[in-house]
Amino acid sequence: MSVKPSLQVSAIPAFADNYLWLVHDGRHAIVIDPGDAAPVEAALSSGHLTLVAILLTHHHGDHAGGVTELSRQRDIPVFGPAREKIAGVTHRLSEGDIVKLDEPAITFDVLDVPSHTAGHIAYVDHQHGWLFCGDTLFAGGCGRLFEGTPGQMTQSLGKLAALPDAMKVYCAHEYTVSNLRFAVAAEPDNPAVAERLSQAQAARARGERTVPSTVGEEKRTNPFLRYREPGIVRTLREQAHLASDDPVAAFAALREWKNAFR
Ligand SMILES: [Zn+2]
């Protein structure tokens, strides 16, 4: 019996602040959200890795832009959201579907997490405790609501917040410091938020990534998972003129305030 090699997740920085995620066993690799083919090819060749599958969370170009080039010379599956049209997708997924690969040995449960885009999906690996959530949940923040409602986003984020606290959150952008500056403004009396901001600033000053975080860390400090907390509701009444007790109204006010926050 052969022992399955352990898996690693590597970040491939791309564009100004994207992370393309490479999961590999030392020989076979999958890539999640390859917005650009060139840095993926460079990572594959320097790691002597064979690309065996592509996984997409949503249709935006900085996530799917490298698919055509990466799959041109390769006969590999391209997994993507069932509810979005993306060139090159061979397997269309929605909640309840499972992606199971042998090499690398990995299994993902698919969740529907619409609102940033209408068909956005997330990939959950319960065995390793890894979540690939694209632009839905960010470290300290959440994606903009380009194609969905605040109500949909609260449901989508609620699904992710219900995952185990120790699960690692591999989001697709390095937005953490600016997200946490807003989080401090939204919840000034939460010392965990201020502490996380200073840790993130120190990490960036050292040239380090702040991603992945964990579900538990997000629940303690991310205002877009904490919009029901009295401290945030109080701030929203003062800063964003929130006049309602409805949690979705609080979430919507928080998201709109963040859109304008500098
Ligand atoms: Zn996006």
Ligand 1 centroid, distance to 19 Cα (angstroms): 12
Q: What is the pLDDT of residue 4?
A: 67
For residue 5, name the pLDDT band (cuts at 50, 70, 90). Answer: confident
Task: Judge whether 22 and 13 are in contact, CB under 8 Å.
Answer: no
| pLDDT per position as a tens digit, 114-173 | 999 999 999 999 999 999 999 999 999 999 999 999 999 999 999 999 999 999 999 999
Active site residues: 58, 60, 62-63, 116, 135, 173
Q: pTM surpassing 0.85? A: yes
| pLDDT per position as a tens digit, 41-70 | 999 999 999 999 999 999 999 999 999 999
Q: What is the CA radius of gyration of the chain?
A: 18
Comparison of pLDDT for 3 and 231, the residue scoring more: 231
Residues contacting residue 198 through CB under 8 Å, at least 6 positions apart: none
Ligand 1 centroid, distance to 177 Cα (angstroms): 19
CA dihedral over 49, 53, 58, 59, signed as positive or negative? positive
CA distance 221 to 161: 12
Q: What is the pLDDT of residue 240?
A: 86
Q: What is the pLDDT of residue 1?
A: 52
**Crossing angle (nearest 10°) for helices 247-260 and 230-239:** 60
Which amino acid is it at 61?
G
| CB under 5 Å of ion ligand 1: residues | 60, 135
The encoded tokens of residue 159 equal 């699904």
Give the mean model confidence (pLDDT) for residues 5-17: 95
Give the mean model confidence (pLDDT) for residues 181-209: 98
